[in-house]
Amino acid sequence: MLTRKQHELLRFIQTKLEETGISPSFEEMKEALDLKSKSGVHRLISALEERGFIRRLPNRARALEVLRQPEDVLRTPQTGQPANSNRPDRPVLAAKAVPEPANDVLEIPLHGRIAAGVPIEALEGQSTLSVPSALLGSGEHYALEVSGDSMIEAGILDGDYALVRRTDTARDGEIVVALVRGEEATLKYLRREDGRVRLDPANAAYEPQVYSPGDVVVQGRLAGILRRYH
């Protein structure tokens, strides 16, 4: 049998996964269970992990997977009543499929700032950014902080984080990170015409930038945007 707090925490984690696809933070778990410190959350999680109700996913921040639920929270689809509580704990899949572990949070490299106006240097750095993996899809990704307003008509604002799938190819009309003349990087729509490469803004106040093909190298395609509200 689980303690009341263990039971409450397990149900809270499962509910958050079903609603958002992301594990709750330790702060959210502390507040939900009305605990005084996060150390209490750590003890509860360790206890649930030791008893096989949850597991922590490696190399992911805030990554918890619910493996099973106590029998008394499983309800029959016909009556909605609790299943026979005398039976042993069964996998949570008997009640509802567990969300895929991929719907959690990944840490990806954060490589400085990138212009959404005049090209500026894209700085390499050691920082990382926590990102819901549902925003990324397959492949290797990195993040760049957007500087400027030339992509506002595409919904990309100054201070946003551009989530970029690393690749050196792109189709016309895709938003890419383009390295210009080996020195500066910019975030723009990519278009090719008359043997030239055109980098188009999404703001009528800015003019397209036109280069020779050898001056532009695609470093990634935009996979998503992450915005923080302060």
Catalytic positions: 150, 188
Which residue, among 154, 147, 163, has the nearest Cα to 202 in the 3D structure? 154
Residues in the chain: 230
Distance CA 65, CA 102 (A): 10
| Straight-line distance from the first to the last Cα atom of the chain, in angstroms, rounded to the nearest whole number | 42
Nearest Cα neighbor of 112 from 185, 220, 168 is 185
Residues 157, 178: Cα–Cα separation, whole Å: 18
C-alpha span between 73 and 91 (Å, rounded): 11
Q: Which residues contact 79 (CB under 8 A, 6 or more apart)?
A: none
Q: What is the Cα–Cα distance from 129 to 45, expressed in whole angstroms?
A: 24
C-alpha 165/C-alpha 149 separation (Å) is 22
Q: Cα separation of 130 and 86, whole Å?
A: 42
- DSSP-derived 3-state class of residue 135: helix
